[in-house]
Amino acid sequence: MNKDYIHEFQNKLLDWYDENRRILPWREEPSAYKVWISEIMLQQTRVDTVIPYFLKFMEDIPSIFTLANISEDKLLKLWEGLGYYSRAKNLKKAAQVLLEEYNGQMPSDKKDLQSLPGIGPYTSGAIASIAFGQKEPAMDGNVLRIVSRITVNTGDIKNRKVKADIEQIVIDVLPENRVGDFNQALMDLGATICIPNGAPKCSICPLSGFCEGHNKGIAETLPVKTAKKKRNIEKKTIFVLNYGDQFALKRRPNKGLLSKLWEYPNVDGFATEKDVRLLMKSWGFLTGSLLELNNSKHLFSHIEWHMKAYYIKVEAVQRDNDFVWASKKEIKEKYSIPTAFKEYTKWVQHLEEHQGQAI
Ligand code: SF4
């Protein structure tokens, strides 16, 4: 690539960004902290979903110091509904490292950033370039897609060598100045013009003059990705146990999927009403009315939960167990219950409306 070509590419993209950039809360008065938190929240999550979470997070946890010292339960409650909860746990761990080893400041060096929990090559590139103006690429799915279309790279973008080749092309075209804007321009272009599902909007793309995929009419067929593995299906039966004005919750194990979050008691497999009555007896509950609730489904990256559920009125608790009993208010404000259970949390919150359903 000659210098004029690179210069024109940079100008076209940055001019487009100046006119069309998305107005996002983390871009107003940007700081390394805001860039960090927003980039972590944006992993696997849509911008529209992230905005309210980001605003609340900044209100409640405005600094690295507050983040390092917040209780994990409070942090997880703030994160409730965003998914991939290990991101939140890593934020806190990283903030503690920043306090201990970096004087409470974000480092500007990509390698230092990558030594922090939860920060990988993409996030470190984004922070280093956007917050500190370091000449670093921020390679995410958007960039891989755009560059593979522009250069007609037909390799699998999950392949390490293909990724490295594309990264080198991006490094070659990074400008000396405004590198953060350049990276954000690619992010915005990928989100609004060179979109992942469906036809790219080449007619309004500032890079169409550089794009071989567009010129050859094959942009939409790129990038090449190997098919995802099918998710395993896990069946579960969920119990909304109601005793007085409280509901049973259980903390999930310290490790693994949704670790340390709260859930409604549940068992593997689909239980019949007869199974449920026996199970409740074995848990030491004297049960009254029982109502089958709507089935629901939740998709994780590698598994699918198919859930059947029962609302059960508990008349008496005959022995100790390891459940916590929480009021509706506590479920709303204190305990972090993953989105996987949202059908049942919604049901609990609107319990009065269901009183006519033979409960
Ligand atoms: S011209 Fe089309 S395919 Fe090429 S970068 Fe622009 S939107 Fe993507």
- Residue 165 — pLDDT band, cuts 50, 70, 90? very high
pLDDT attached to residue 2: 85
**In the predicted structure, residue 267 carries a pLDDT above the cut 70:** yes
**In the predicted structure, residue 358 carries a pLDDT above the cut 80:** no
Q: Enumerate the CATH 3.90.79.10 domain ranges in the chain, comma separated.
A: 232-354
Distance from Cα 221 to the centre of ligand 1, integer Å: 12
The residue among 317, 307, 295 whose CA lies nearest residue 242 is: 317
Q: What is the pLDDT of residues 213-226, one digit of tens each?
A: 999 999 999 998 88
Q: What is the pLDDT of residues 250-263, one digit of tens each?
A: 999 998 999 999 99
330 is catalytic: no
pLDDT attached to residue 320: 81
Q: What is the pLDDT of residues 112-132, one digit of tens each?
A: 999 999 999 999 999 999 999
Rounded to the nearest angstrom, the gap between the alpha carbon of residue 180 and the centroid of all alpha carbons in its chain is: 22
Residue to probe by mutation, ligand 1, list 17, 20, 144, 150, most atoms within 8 Å of CB? 150
Q: What is the pLDDT of residues 143-155, one digit of tens each?
A: 999 999 999 999 9
pTM recorded for the entire structure = 0.85
- Residue 266 — pLDDT band, cuts 50, 70, 90? very high
**In the predicted structure, residue 193 carries a pLDDT above the cut 70:** yes
Q: What is the pLDDT of residues 273-294, one digit of tens each?
A: 999 999 999 999 999 999 999 9
CATH superfamily for domain 232-354: Nucleoside Triphosphate Pyrophosphohydrolase (3.90.79.10)
pLDDT attached to residue 357: 59
In the three-class reduction of DSSP (H, G, I as helix; E, B as strand; rest coil), residue 38 is classed as: helix
Long-range contacts of 204-210 (CB under 8 A, 24+ apart): 206/12, 206/13, 206/15, 206/16, 207/9, 207/12, 207/13, 207/146, 207/150, 209/12, 210/5, 210/9, 210/12, 210/150
Q: Which atom of ligand 1 is nearest to the CA of 201?
A: 7
pLDDT attached to residue 356: 57
CATH number assigned to the domain with residue range 3-221, chosen from the 4 options 1.25.40.10, 1.10.340.30, 1.10.3720.10, 3.90.180.10: 1.10.340.30
Burial environment of residue 73 by CB neighbours within 10 A (0 to 12, 13 to 18, 19 or more): middle
Catalytic residue, chosen from 8, 39, 59, 72, is 39
pLDDT attached to residue 197: 83
Q: Is 193 in the pocket of ligand 1 (CB under 6 A)?
A: yes
Q: What is the pLDDT of residues 51-91, one digit of tens each?
A: 999 999 999 999 999 999 999 999 999 999 998 999 999 99
**In the predicted structure, residue 1 carries a pLDDT above the cut 80:** no
Q: Is 338 in the pocket of ligand 1 (CB under 6 A)?
A: no
Average pLDDT, the chain: 94
Peptide bond between residue 121 and the one before it cis (omega within 30 degrees of 0): no
Q: Enumerate the CATH 1.10.340.30 domain ranges in the chain, comma separated.
A: 3-221
